[in-house]
Amino acid sequence: MTVAMKEIGLGFGSNVGDKVANLHRAMELVFSRGPIEFLAASSVWRTAPWGFVDQDWFANACAVGRTEMTADEAIAFTQGVEADIGREKTFRWGPRVIDVDILYLGEERVSSERLVVPHKEIFNRPFVLAPLAEIRPDLELDGKSIRRAAEAAGSAGLSRLANPWKPAVS
């Protein structure tokens, strides 16, 4: 039985320590460990905190790849990357050394206590929409355009901070 490759969209965020280095390290781990083939990464964006706002600013970026993983396999994989970088669960929307969110996974639709795919807050978060529109402007999720959503969300509180991460050439 052949398992079909599907596109996976990932959101990365950090507001503890060297934020840009944390994002780049997470991308390096995600794309060097094998189950996700790298396609593209956005610039790193400086963004205001969301949810719990009494904390330091965030660095955010998005990346897309291809994978054969199921949603359950993907969440276990991304949580392993977070743990390897030193993520400690505190409180919802609190400070974190790294956060790796699954934004979408091909056409899969998942709604469980552990995971919702596509990510249920994707269209409410300018810090996801801006970097995702940079690399996948023509993407539509549930009939909604990422480009149009990013334009509607505007750029208040967002600024480009660093160039996109690129995988090491071997």
> Residue 111: how many CB atoms within 10 A of its CB?
8
* Residue 122 counted as domain residue: yes
What pTM does this model have? 0.91
* Residue 1 counted as domain residue: no
Q: Using CA atoms, how far apart are residues 72 and 112, in angstroms rounded to an integer?
A: 10
| Residues that are catalytic | 87, 96, 99, 101
Q: Using CA atoms, how far apart are residues 119 and 4, in angstroms rounded to an integer?
A: 21
The three-state secondary structure class of 68 is: coil
pLDDT in tens, 80-98: 999 999 877 775 666 888 9
Domain that holds residue 13: 6-162
* Residue 51 counted as domain residue: yes
> Residue 37: how many CB atoms within 10 A of its CB?
15
* Residue 167 counted as domain residue: no
Report the CATH number at residue 12.
3.30.70.560
Q: How many domains does the chain have?
A: 1
* Residue 113 counted as domain residue: yes
26 pLDDT above the threshold of 90? yes
